[in-house]
Chain A
Amino acid sequence: MAKLNMVEAINQALAEEMARDPAIIILGEDVGQLGGVFRVTDGLWQKFGPHRVMDTPLAESGIVGVSLGLAVGGFKPVAEIQFDGFVPPALDQIMSHLSRYRTRSRGRFSLPVVIRFPYGAGIHAPEHHSESPEAILAHTPGLKVVIPATPAEAKGLLISALRDPDPVVFMEPKRLYRAIREEVPEGDYAIPLGVARVVREGGQVTVVAWGAMVREALRAAEEVAAEGISAEVIDVRTISPLDDQTIAASVKKTGRVVIVHEAPRTCGLAAEIMARLNELAFLSLAAPPERVTGFDTVVPLLKLEEHYLPDAPRLSRAIRQVVHF
């Protein structure tokens, strides 16, 4: 097994699936000859040609809208939106059409479209390059929303997304693109969508995280372990459908929970997870759930970015709070 970073793992998943399935095509801004601004599609234009890896005009609604037509026409488009901050123009096509077509045609039209985009803060990027819009997408019926946390996870989850018959939004934590290198299984390696994973086992408190925040959660678990606190860390992996069973099972065991996301706090996914835990594990709770989130502010420019982002110290603080309640 080769040790890959997340960019390489995603690239490998795309290359292998494109070789396996001639219906898969890639389209987006700068995805062709350049290989994408983060080089995620590096070499694919050269390998599969300009009819399968296509640079489009600079128009996000256009990229998603034509992907719908391409899917009806028999293709499986992988649409790249260059940055999280440029997703809003495409939301009309995503929310008004892509997510609704199967149900509104009672199954006549199936849209196997994957929308990939790098998301999140922490790389000192310019304005509008640090957003975490997963809650808006998870609130949209008919969409699946997937966020990997490691290179191997990214490969396995993307392969499942590419094989899914429904539209999948695949959000890539750009902060981790090159931060982690790990062994990534070669070939047919699919991780089912909708199943969370326990990354680290523990008995006293459950920490729920996804994407770039999984690394922070593991750091915090390490930090509090020194104080004798045993934290279990769950990587949600698929924001929608949300595997509330795995989360609830862990909380029933630990009785305490901290949920972390870098998206704004109000109506963020942590609120939904708390609601599910009220339904599924209320009587097991020994302390009020805590959430550590981004603020209900605009993500600041790079000089203040570190103050916005949840990190291991904030998480450790919350963990101590619920454990010593």
Chain B
Amino acid sequence: MLTDEFHPLDGGRVALLAPDGSLDHARRPEDLDDAALLRLYDQMVLLRSADQVALSLQRAGRMGTYPPTLGQEATVIGSAAALAPQDWVVPSFRELGAMFLKGVPLRLLYLYWMGSEWGSHFPEGVRVLPVCAPVGTQTLHGVGLAWAAKLKGEAAVTLIYFGDGATSKGDFHEGLNFAGVFQTPSVFVCQNNQFSISVPRRHQTAAATLAQKAVAYGFPGLVVDGNDLVAVYAATREAVARARSGGGPTLIEAQTYRLGPHTTADDPTRYRTEAELAAQAPYDPLLRVRLYLERQGLLTAAEESQRQERHEEFARQEAREAEALISADPDEMFDYTFAQLPAYLQAQKDYLHRVRGDQQEAAGG
């Protein structure tokens, strides 16, 4: 068990695939063979392509503020890949790849950031909660969902994402505490990307790690190299198995690095140097998987450029589909507030119809 081998209070940190592409075969999960690694690598490239298309859409004014994943692909894909179909993903706002992997169409994820609530109207059966902007508050939703599964005797695990900043919030602590008390089948994945917008990780807590906070709540915590797809997968897989078999929750701190801005509205040059960013280049989470797969003879440079083109074309097509789904019907503001529209909202909806009618008439006349 990784949690026995690597204890956060002893400085333990799970790292299985080194930046140079060398793999710890002894600890490699048995179901993560080379074919599986290639599939997950493909998802990471897809995520990076989807990110780049989103950024270009944002610059072209076709999308609102967007939080890129750039640099955190191993954490997002490696963790979500360890889930079974009946499991839930409870995202923060930088887990587009996990939501996609769990069945949310990319067009809907784009649609949300383009500014339509329909982007959170996931298909029935897709076990993903909507994006959560109030930092850390979703921790409790995920614990409630896991608790529901436990009460119903379902073997469904809930994977709850949040960032390093969330560990300073009360709801994070309340969530972990509930999870410990009720032994809910929850896996907490902290994407420690070193920054809460501009505030560095060391300003969030005096504790040496974020994972060690699990100790206080009575369940295991684990630090993993968050840029290491194999380590993240192995840690999550173990935690999911523990949760599913009634062993309770786990907190995983995935130590990664946000290579891009917090969102498209952010300017990271105000709080970190070019040199700091450049020093991160060798730790790019895609690079080491590519090096490994190349060494295994599973990738060629020509295939790589095709892969990227294919994914970018897919993402652009999904963006066009998303734009086609944008609804300009203001009635919707009212119609989904409650299951049934109350009279006072009907009156406000009627009022908006009248003023828009008058405006259209004035414009026409």
Contact = CB atoms under 8 A, between A and B. Distances in A.
Interface of A: 25, 51, 56-57, 59, 61-62, 64-75, 89, 92-93, 96-97, 101-110, 141-142, 144, 164-166, 194, 241-242, 244-245
A108 B145 CA distance: 16
Given A65-B174, A96-B134, A102 B336 contact: yes
Q: Is the interface of B mostly helix, strand, loop or mixed?
A: helix
B339 A66 contact: no
Contact of A97 (B141, B143, B152): B141
B336 A62 contact: no
Contacts of B339: 102, 110, 164-166
Contact of B147 (A59, A69, A93): A69
A184 B152 CA distance: 34
A104 B342 CA distance: 18
A103 B336 contact: yes
A103 B142 contact: no
Nearest to A112: B339
Nearest to A106: B121
Given A59-B178, A68-B141, A73-B152, 9 more contacts: A57-B178, A57-B181, A65-B139, A65-B175, A68-B140, A69-B142, A74-B152, A102-B338, A194-B342
A51 B151 CA distance: 7
Contacts, number: 135
Interface residues on B, range: 35 or more
Nearest to B181: A57
Contacts of B129: 72, 109
What are the 10 A-B residue pairs with the smallest beta carbon separation, nearest first? A69-B144, A73-B148, A65-B140, A66-B144, A62-B174, A69-B145, A106-B121, A165-B339, A103-B336, A241-B342
Contacts of B93: none
B120 A72 contact: no
Contacts of A97: 132, 134, 137, 141
B344 A56 contact: no
A51 B178 CA distance: 15
A106 B117 contact: yes
Nearest to A60: B174
Contacts of A73: 144-145, 147-149, 151-152
A92 B336 contact: no
A69 B148 contact: yes
A61 B174 contact: yes
Contact of B121 (A57, A72, A93, A108): A108
Given A62-B174, A65-B141, A73-B145, A103 B151 contact: no
A238 to B, nearest CB: 10
Contacts of B148: 69-70, 72-75
A92 B134 contact: yes
A144 B144 CA distance: 22
B117 A104 contact: yes
A244 B122 contact: no
A67 B117 contact: no
Contacts of A241: 342-344
A137 to B, nearest CB: 15
9 contacts: A51-B151, A62-B140, A62-B177, A69-B140, A75-B151, A105-B122, A108-B120, A109-B129, A165-B339
B76 interface: no
Given A62-B178, A105-B130, A67 B171 contact: no
Given A57-B177, A106-B120, A241-B343, A69 B146 contact: yes
Contacts of A165: 339
Contacts of B147: 66, 69-70, 73
Contacts of A102: 336-339
Contact of B178 (A66, A68, A93, A141): A66
A280 B130 CA distance: 40
A72 B128 CA distance: 11
Which residue, B120, B144, B181, has most C-beta atoms of chain A within 10 A?
Answer: B144
Given A66-B143, A93-B140, A104 B130 contact: yes
A69 B156 CA distance: 13
